[in-house]
């Protein structure tokens, strides 16, 4: 039976979303399904901004970053009559199923709508933060870390010339995956992640030792770290209640501290949203494509309330409940790998 599928991309964008959208649309053709693009995440479903999404709209987007559907951090539960409007628009546009591509917030919302109001939903995990449970990697992560790794190479060149310590602040919210992988892959001398409390005096001493040896040092910090010594700025929350972490200027504060405590000239840089844009890497193009195709399969099999996931090299599906139960954060095994290189 032919179905109408609405696709939305919620939360922060990331490379890999366009390959995933393309994957759904191409696979839907095999099932004789019609696909619709819900514009700008949940906002599009609240406002009824839903447009047909055809082969011609997606065939050229595999190499494009961002999302052709637009994204927003709008939470229907925070909008007056939001859920009623969502349901009314699903009915009006005769959507048989939704494919919600997003991170913890979008998938949490998908799970709520599936469980509480019986919407037929399939989730696709995407986030540069790589913090979704039940899936080994999310698309967006590889591209973002690749961008951050390139930035580290530039910082290393200038840091080495000027005999400085260079600090790079990366995104990742409350998970340290981006900082950890950036640090390991670029030969950083110290990495700060939210999951592990930093011993600051040990870090200063370590950087002094490294500096003695090579006359420069590299530090990567996650935006989500906490330290009582830093001047934490006024915290703003988004509609899902998340702190806007970049406003705390963690990298800048850390560089000042290192400069003061070691006496070595230290500079900081924030790669910011540059790590979230640009073309997806090979890994993210393939993962996005596989996730999109699998999501269309799940709709065909009427496996709703499920999320596509990568386990090893297999694309499987798991319950949305399992996926949103808790954040996937850096574990001891990964941290131990990073520590091997703090010498």
User: How far is Cα 21 from Cα 292, in angstroms, rounded to an integer?
Assistant: 6
235: region left, alpha or beta (phi > 0 left; psi from -120 to 50 alpha)? beta
Residue with the shortest CB distance to ligand F6P: 171
Given 100, 245, 250, 299, the residue binding ligand F6P (CB under 6 A): 245
Q: Is residue 129 among the annotated active site residues?
A: yes
Q: How far is the CB of 256 from ligand F6P (least distance, A)?
A: 22
What string marks each residue from 200 to 239 as x (binds ligand F6P by CB under 6 A) or -?
-----------------------x----------------
| By CB under 6 A, residue 132 contacts ligand F6P | no
Identify whether the C-beta of residue 189 lies closer than 8 Å to the C-beta of residue 207. yes
Contact flag: residue 44 with ligand F6P (CB under 6 A): no
Interacting residue with ligand F6P among 111, 120, 127, 289 (CB under 6 A): 127
Span of 16-24, 86-94, 123-131, 333-341 interacting with ligand F6P by CB under 6 A: 123-131
Part of the chain binding ligand F6P (CB under 6 A), chosen from 127-135, 228-236, 284-292, 326-334 = 127-135
Catalytic, out of 13, 129, 297, 317: 129
Break the chain down into helix, strand, coil percent, rounded to 5: 45, 20, 35
Phi, psi for 243 (deg, rounded to 5): -65, 140
Query: Taking CB under 6 A as the rule, does residue 108 contact ligand F6P?
Result: no
Distances (CA, A) of 29 to 59, 85, 297: 13, 29, 11
Closer to ligand F6P by Cβ: residue 83 or 145: 145
Question: What 8-state DSSP symbol labels residue 76?
Answer: G
CA-wise closest residue to 69 among 3, 5, 18, 143: 18
CA dist list (Å): 322 to 46, 110, 194, 312: 26, 13, 23, 18
Contact flag: residue 249 with ligand F6P (CB under 6 A) = no
Q: Which stretch binds ligand F6P (CB under 6 A): 38-46, 125-133, 205-213, 333-341?
A: 125-133
Q: Cα 72 to the chain's mean position, in Å?
A: 14
324: contact with ligand F6P by CB under 6 A: no
Where on the chain is the footprint of ligand F6P (CB under 6 A)?
12, 103, 127-129, 171-173, 223, 245, 276
- Residues annotated catalytic, as ranges: 129
């Amino acid at each position: 039976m032919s179905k109408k599928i609405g696709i939305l991309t919620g939360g922060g964008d990331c490379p890999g979303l366009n390959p995933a959208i393309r994957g759904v649309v191409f696979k839907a053709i095999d099932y004789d399904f019609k696909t619709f693009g819900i514009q700008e995440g949940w906002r599009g479903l609240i406002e009824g901004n839903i447009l047909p999404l055809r082969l011609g709209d997606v065939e050229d987007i595999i190499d494009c970053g961002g999302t052709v559907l637009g994204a927003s951090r709008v939470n229907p539960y925070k909008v007056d009559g939001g859920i009623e409007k969502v349901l009314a628009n699903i009915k009006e546009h005769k959507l048989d199923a939704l494919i919600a591509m997003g991170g913890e917030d979008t998938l949490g919302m998908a799970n709520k709508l599936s469980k509480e109001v019986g919407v037929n939903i399939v989730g696709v995990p995407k986030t540069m933060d790589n913090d979704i449970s039940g899936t080994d990697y999310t698309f967006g992560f590889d591209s973002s870390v690749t961008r951050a790794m390139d930035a580290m190479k530039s910082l290393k060149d200038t840091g080495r010339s000027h005999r400085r310590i260079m600090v790079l602040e990366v995104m990742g919210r409350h998970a340290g995956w981006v900082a950890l992988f950036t640090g390991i892959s670029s030969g950083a001398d110290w990495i700060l992640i939210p999951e592990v409390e930093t011993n600051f005096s040990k870090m200063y001493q370590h950087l002094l030792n490294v500096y003695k040896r090579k006359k420069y040092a590299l530090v990567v910090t996650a935006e989500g770290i906490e330290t009582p010594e830093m001047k934490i700025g006024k915290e703003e929350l988004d509609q899902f209640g998340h702190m806007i972490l970049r406003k705390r200027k963690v990298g800048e504060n850390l560089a000042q501290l290192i400069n003061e405590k070691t006496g070595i000239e230290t500079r900081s840089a924030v790669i910011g949203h540059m790590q979230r844009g640009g073309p997806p890497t090979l890994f993210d193009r393939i993962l996005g494509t596989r996730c999109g195709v699998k999501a269309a399969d799940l709709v065909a099999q009427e496996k709703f309330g499920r999320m596509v996931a990568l386990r090893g090299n297999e694309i499987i599906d798991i319950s949305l409940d399992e996926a949103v139960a808790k954040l996937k954060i850096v574990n001891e095994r990964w941290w131990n790998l990073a520590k091997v290189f703090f010498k």
